Amino acid sequence: MNAPIQIQAAHCPYCRNILFQNLKRHKVRGCLTCKRPIVIARSPVGRPRLYRIYSVLDVGMTLYALITIALIAFFVLTGHGIHGFVKGFSIALFIVGSVFCVDGVLAMRTARDKTWGKQRRGVAARMLGVGKVAAGVLAFFMVFVGVTL
């Protein structure tokens, strides 16, 4: 007898809903439920045909963390002035402002938010979205101040 084969479905890393799109055709897609941008990429370790699905917003925050660590290490090891550090940090802070603004606007539009591993829906998600947009605007202001120093 032929046994039914169960294929594991791909899930959105943000809202955990099943992705019904052909992910291999486009590298960057938006989830149909939460509208968050997701990217499919080959796994850095493991089997060569193994793919991972990442949230673009999480990739941006990871990139910010790596840039900040490299920036701190560079200025500790070379001893450059504080003005160069502030300018470099403010450029890296642009990534955080962009991620917060995009995530906040999407939370206000879709009424879905995920902050610190907890998912919220409805009015609570929209209020956190407003807070994220405000934090993003504040980060953009700090970028402007840091660049003009």
pLDDT in tens, 100-135: 999 899 889 888 888 887 888 899 989 999 999 999
Q: What's the pTM? A: 0.75
CA distance 40 to 76: 36
Q: Evaluate if residue 5 carries a pLDDT over 70.
A: no
pLDDT in tens, 48-70: 667 777 888 888 888 899 999 99
Assess whether pLDDT exceeds 80 at residue 29.
no
